[in-house]
């Protein structure tokens, strides 16, 4: 199936009279791009952790085919390698698994006891896997079964690796900015290169030099394995993840989903354009800037339509994976992600943890008086957040997801599991809107409450005074494709806790309503005609 975008709605948008809809960012073709590997057919295979998808890119035509779709047996694929018979061995990062997919599409689970399983390579029929986590292991795995053979352990976040011309296994350590090698038959690790920019992958060119992507600096480095001397083959943006060769042609992947061909002499060619990975929550700053939480990235939409990166997971001072956020100033935010709520100043690259130890925080809101509220989906609670502490405002909720304050200070919460929106009271909660399928983001404008119902793929306007409701838009590109039930992404600290989509909503100063089209990787704008 050749795809122009990762998601195609079976129906066109439906809009209430007097409304129009446009996209302020274009749909993405991938759910980001992680491990890439040239396949036996000459295409570049792309693993996408966030979308539990594997795609194949034809480097001549740009056509993309889904090989393993969201909802299949493969969950959160991060890297892959092919054996001589064409079987694809896949690491499933968040589930700590390694699976095998045969050319006929059948899959089988090889192991499920490798937390952070990430880097994988096959050399002369031998399968090697490592765990990208603090204290990770580098192992040889027997596909026929039996305990792994540990070659090295207590490693600080090893990642994509390869056997070099000397027969040694080379692997990067993301956390220490180093590359090491080890004899796969036994021996002590030996450092090859240091002072890098966050090395995420190691491969070799035909001259025997290491080619390594750097997630922090955005550089593609060419390194002499004998001396450790390095030169910059290309300077790209932060978030680079992996690379592969198709013959002599070099392709690099990045978290944004862009696949770039490195042409030599510092020149590059975009083989597949980038896009948003999720996106998740949205917020508008005091100057009207639209901000987008895209999981590992925080972005600002400029007036010219360009996206500006304010920070990303490996940036200094970044507060970590962001799911929910609200702007409190220009490039200043209250953000929620994993189990933390933080204050983040992107201009100074400083963050302050306000509260930690929550379960799965999603939407966050700030009232007119400065009160902070956050929905904890995992615990079924809503918390009031102060500096260093939190107070439970409501408990026993069914998957609370979005939060919003009314002009009078009443806190509203969407219960995505119960299909309703409730108001938090001194004694518990009162139902405000029921009969929904799976509500996520909430937005209050005056007496109108806007609700994104992800289950029904609709935007609903509810009058808080008259209690009347109107469907503003239908068939929105939010949630999972029809008929697909995505399997949970368990997450892995410190990168993220359990991951799940969150369809955010925000209002511009001109009344424009922005919605995160997480299914297709776009941001939508709805405007009421004058």
CA angle 87, 88, 89 (to 5 degrees): 115
Query: What's the pLDDT at 495?
Result: 63
Query: What's the pLDDT at 247?
Result: 95
What is the pTM for the complete model shown?
0.93
Burial class (CB in 10 A: 0-12, 13-18, 19+), 226: exposed
Point out which residues pair with 230 in neighbouring strands: 223
Q: Which domains does the chain have, with CATH numbers?
A: 29-272 (2.130.10.10), 282-528 (2.120.10.30)
Asked whether the beta carbons of 324 and 364 are under 8 A apart, the reply is yes
Distance CA 139, CA 47 (A): 21
Query: What's the pLDDT at 88?
Result: 98
CB atoms within 10 A of CB 370: 8
Let me know how long the chain is: 530
Taking the alpha carbons at both ends of the chain, their separation in whole angstroms is: 42
**Torsion from C-alpha of 329, 352, 295, 361, nearest 10 degrees:** -100
Point out which residues pair with 457 in neighbouring strands: none
Query: What's the pLDDT at 115?
Result: 94
Distance CA 296, CA 277 (A): 9
On the question of a cis peptide bond just before residue 259, with omega within 30 degrees of 0, the verdict is no
Residue 331 corresponds to which tokens in the numbers above? 């490039």
Query: What's the pLDDT at 482?
Result: 76
To the nearest whole percent, how much of the chain has pLDDT over 90?
Answer: 86
Query: What's the pLDDT at 1?
Result: 46
> What are the 10-residue block averages of pLDDT along the chain, 530 residues in total?
71 92 94 96 96 96 94 95 97 96 96 96 97 96 94 97 98 97 95 97 98 97 97 96 97 96 94 94 96 94 90 90 95 94 96 94 96 96 91 97 97 98 94 98 97 97 97 94 77 69 95 96 93
Burial class (CB in 10 A: 0-12, 13-18, 19+), 377: buried
Asked whether the beta carbons of 493 and 80 are under 8 A apart, the reply is no
pLDDT digits 0-9 by tens, 43-52? 999 999 999 9
């Amino acid at each position: 199936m050749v795809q122009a975008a990762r998601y195609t709605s079976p129906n066109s948008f439906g809009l209430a009279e007097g409304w129009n809809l446009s996209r302020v960012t274009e749909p993405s073709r991938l759910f980001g791009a992680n491990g890439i590997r040239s396949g036996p057919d000459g295409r570049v295979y792309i693993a996408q952790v966030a979308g539990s998808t594997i795609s194949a890119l034809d480097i001549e035509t740009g056509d993309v085919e889904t090989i393993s779709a969201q909802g299949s047996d493969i969950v959160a694929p991060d890297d892959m390698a092919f054996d001589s018979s064409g079987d694809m061995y896949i690491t499933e990062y968040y589930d700590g698994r390694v699976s095998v997919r045969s050319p006929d599409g059948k899959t089988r689970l090889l192991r499920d006891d490798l937390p952070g399983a990430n880097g994988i390579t096959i050399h002369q029929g031998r399968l090697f896997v490592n765990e990208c986590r603090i204290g990770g292991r580098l192992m040889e795995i027997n596909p026929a079964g039996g305990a792994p053979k540990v070659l090295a352990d207590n490693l600080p976040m090893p990642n994509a690796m390869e056997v070099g011309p000397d027969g040694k296994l080379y692997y990067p350590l993301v956390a220490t900015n180093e590359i090491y090698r080890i004899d796969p038959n036994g021996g002590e690790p030996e450092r090859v290169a240091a002072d890098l920019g966050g090395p995420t992958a190691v491969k070799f060119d035909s001259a025997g030099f290491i080619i390594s992507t750097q997630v922090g600096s955005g550089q593609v480095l060419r390194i002499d394995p004998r001396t450790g001397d390095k030169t910059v083959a290309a300077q790209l943006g932060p978030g680079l993840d992996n690379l592969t060769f198709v013959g002599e042609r070099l392709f690099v992947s990045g978290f944004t989903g862009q696949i770039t061909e490195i042409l030599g002499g510092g020149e590059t060619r975009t083989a597949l354009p980038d896009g948003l990975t999720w996106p998740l929550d949205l917020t508008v700053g005091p100057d009207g800037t639209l901000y987008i939480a895209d999981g590992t990235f925080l972005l600002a939409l400029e007036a010219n339509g360009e996206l500006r990166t304010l920070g990303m997971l490996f940036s200094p001072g970044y507060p970590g994976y962001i799911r929910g956020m609200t702007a409190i100033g220009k490039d200043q935010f209250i953000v929620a992600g994993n189990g933390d709520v933080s204050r983040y100043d992107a201009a100074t690259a400083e963050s302050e943890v306000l509260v930690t130890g929550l379960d799965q925080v999603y939407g966050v809101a700030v009232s007119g008086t400065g009160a902070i509220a956050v929905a904890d989906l995992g615990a079924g609670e809503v918390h009031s957040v102060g500096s260093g502490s939190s107070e439970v405002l409501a408990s026993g909720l069914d998957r609370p997801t979005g939060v919003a304050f009314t002009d009078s200070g009443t806190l509203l919460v969407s219960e995505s599991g119960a299909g309703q929106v409730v108001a938090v009271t001194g004694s518990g909660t009162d139902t405000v809107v029921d009969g929904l399928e799976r509500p996520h983001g909430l937005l209050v404008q005056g007496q109108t409450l806007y609700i994104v119902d992800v289950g029904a793929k609709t935007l609903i306007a509810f009058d808080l005074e008259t209690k009347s409701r109107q469907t503003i838009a239908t068939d929105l590109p939010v949630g999972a494709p029809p008929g697909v039930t995505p399997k949970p992404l368990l997450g892995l600290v410190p990168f993220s806790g359990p991951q799940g989509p969150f369809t955010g909503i925000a209002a511009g100063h001109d009344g424009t309503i922005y919605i995160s089209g997480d299914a297709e990787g776009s941001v939508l704008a709805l405007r009421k005609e004058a």
